[in-house]
Chain A
Amino acid sequence: MLKQQNNLIMNYVFYPNSIAVIGASSDAEKERMTGWVGRLQQFGYKGKIYPLNPKVKEILGLKTYPSIGEIPGSVDYAIMVIPRRFVSRSLEECIAKGVKVVHIYTAGFSEMGTDVGIAMQKELERIIETGTTHVIGPNCMGVYCPSGGLSFDVRFPKESGSIAFISQTGVGGRRLIQLATGRGLRFSKAISYGNAIDLNVIDFLDYAVSDPETSLILLYLEGLTDGRSFFNILRGCKKPVVLLKAGLSEGGSGAVASHTASLAGSRQVWEALFKQTGAVSVDTLEEAVEQMVALQTLPPITGNRVGLVGRGGGIGVVAVDMCEREGLKVPPLAQETRDRLATIIATDSGSTIRNPVEIGLGATGVSEHYVDGLQIIASDPHIDFLITFLNPEDYIHYGVKGWVEDISKALIRAKKAVSKPFVVVFLAGQSGEVFETILRIQRTCTREGIACFSTMDTAIKALGKTITYYQNRND
């Protein structure tokens, strides 16, 4: 598809001026709670909404229409929530009406693997060819676009962000958005595109690459039909792309006659794609969230030398091993740095000033030296960035009051004062209070642009991949 033409279609997908809901419920309460009309109203959609229902005159204060053809004005977008057997007929009516984009929410097609489902999907594919209407789906959640007032879930934030999420999966996609927004991340757009009989990952990716609202792209992908276009778009993309490719297991590649083909598998080819395009590979939805936190909050880091700061020798030593495993280095600090640290750290009480450096928050709240310490280590010429870890369970144990506020303030101050990027790890504990507190601090910190995580493992892994991404991009 031509880029210009694709952008035009995507404009109808994310910013339609009018939406028909085909299959709005005549039960107002039901429609308000779980229907699309209710969803659009509650999410603050500003365009015209046309509920389609032949039985009632009005739904949630809106005039209804018995069929799409009887809507007086033009219709940019239609959402189909009707039983499977009515879908093909309704699609024909949408084409006749000149609807720009139809989102088929209804499931029960090829994904079922049944003859009937496959045949019905084929029929839809045939119908699309007869007009200019474009289709999202079937079997998908559709669009979440805060700036367009659209959401497939009213609980999602109305505030816009800069992540575009393109997802083959619906329920998994919703979970991802919940996880990410819970961490303080925000989306420009999200699309669950399902069986992709028309608009597919290539169209959405192509749009996201040039979308001015988007600075980071997340892809969840199972199958792919046009690998070469996908590869070419990714290779040309200047924005970071996080890619969860599900279903990487080795498929039988059939009979082959060369050594080369006998050694090749789909996993090796995907690995090549990641190396050639710089797309960041993640294995789970949870890892995708951690990776996006790192990419959204950290500046482009290309050096891999870490200064580790936190209280607890063993935690630091384990962290050093993790760093090495992910390709990060934990070098000794310069003598001058150590001399300066010695003035603020009580070495006679057993704290070490090697790397890792032991600086904690005092038992009475935020140590006045904590931010100073971070600054001193950041000024070391052998250090590219810092990882600092804090153990909230300790403060609870000591009964320290107001430590959450103290930490948040100290970190926001540090963000301004410290000359190099830093990452904060709030070590998760088993206490409900700690757990809840960490969620709250993380949300605040992420929104302040501070990279924070709840285990050393996730932090170091996400950092390692972030550095590799920026190194590749600069090569």
Chain B
Amino acid sequence: MTSKEIIQKARAEGRALLTETESKALIRESGIAVTDTQLAHSMSEAVSISNRMGYPVVLKIASKDITHKSDAGGVKVGLMTPEEVEKAYEEIFTSVAQKYPAAALQGVTVQKAARPGVEVIIGMFTDAQFGPVLMFGLGGIWVEILKDVSFRIVPLTKKDVASLIREIKGFPLLEGRRGQKASDIGSLEGALLNLSAFVEKYPEIKEIDLNPIFVYEEGYVAVDARIILSGA
């Protein structure tokens, strides 16, 4: 499906929140690197997708009704064998059934575990006065604890993305200190410029979280993506 079709389908179903697979499909179109994620409707399908992708893999519950997958016990990481995938599949469904008995479940998403890197977040929200605004900061669990983030109004220029990345307090983590290699800041700048152009093209999008993004010496990958459409 194209991005337009994904957005239309969600609208038709009365959903503002896109699924992870849908969100990643849109983000991929913007030119931002995301992990390969496929939907498995059954345990055996989860195993065969895992075998094809190669281990370790990550399983996440796929449900249009569940926003916070981790809290629901719906995420299992670092799965090394087909047996571990089967066990994780069962545990996810047991836990989610307990915590969200009314939720409709589509299955699980399978993705190849990404190699760890420096965790950052790129996000977007729609300001009532200025329209789309991008955010950049330290990602993963650090977002909520340190709130080390900064903002720029769309459209962003090259100068905007350069200063945005460099003004967060945690920037030295990306520059590489104490024997750590420097992260690929240029590729992150490219991602921010891509996202700026993308959200201008799709005014239907109200909010985006790409969190975490793993940044490497060369390149980066967005491991999770969440897109929320505007109400109308």
Contacts and interface: CB of A to CB of B under 8 A. Distances in A.
Interface of A: 224, 227-228, 231, 256-261, 263-264, 266, 268-269, 271-273, 275-276, 475
Interface residues of B, number: 32
A100 to B, nearest CB: 30
B127 interface: yes
A269 B207 contact: no
A273 B123 contact: no
A257 B149 contact: no
Interface stretch (B93-101, B130-138, B171-179): B130-138
Given A231-B130, A276-B160, A258 B151 contact: no
Interface string B109-147: 000000000000101110101110101010000011001
A260 B135 contact: yes
Nearest to B149: A263
Nearest to A226: B129
Contacts of B209: 258-260
Given A260-B124, A268-B151, A273-B153, A227 B129 contact: yes
- The 3 tightest CB contacts between A and B, nearest first, are A260-B123, A227-B129, A227-B130
A258 B129 contact: no
B207 A260 contact: yes
24 contacts: A231-B130, A257-B16, A257-B226, A258-B123, A258-B226, A259-B121, A259-B143, A259-B209, A260-B124, A260-B135, A260-B207, A260-B208, A263-B143, A263-B149, A264-B127, A268-B150, A268-B151, A269-B127, A269-B129, A272-B150, A272-B152, A275-B160, A275-B163, A276-B160
Contacts of B143: 259, 263
A145 B136 CA distance: 44
Nearest to B126: A261
B228 interface: yes
Contacts, number: 78
A273 B157 CA distance: 13
Contact of A259 (B16, B129, B163, B211): B211
Contacts of B159: 475
Contact of B228 (A228, A257, A264, A273): A257
Contact of B130 (A257, A258, A261, A269): A269
Nearest to A260: B123
Nearest to A275: B163
Nearest to B226: A258
Contact of A257 (B67, B131, B153, B160): B67
A228 B143 CA distance: 28
A228 B207 contact: no
Contacts of B123: 258-261, 263
A258 B207 contact: yes
A471 to B, nearest CB: 12
A257 B211 CA distance: 14
Contacts of B211: 259
A228 B226 CA distance: 25
B221 interface: no
A302 to B, nearest CB: 16
Contacts of B152: 272, 275-276
Given A227-B131, A258-B209, A269 B121 contact: no
A298 B156 CA distance: 31
B100 to A, nearest CB: 16
Contacts of B108: none
Nearest to A267: B151
Contacts of A266: 127, 129
Contacts of B135: 260, 263-264
B131 A258 contact: no
Given A269-B151, A272-B151, A272-B153, A260 B125 contact: yes
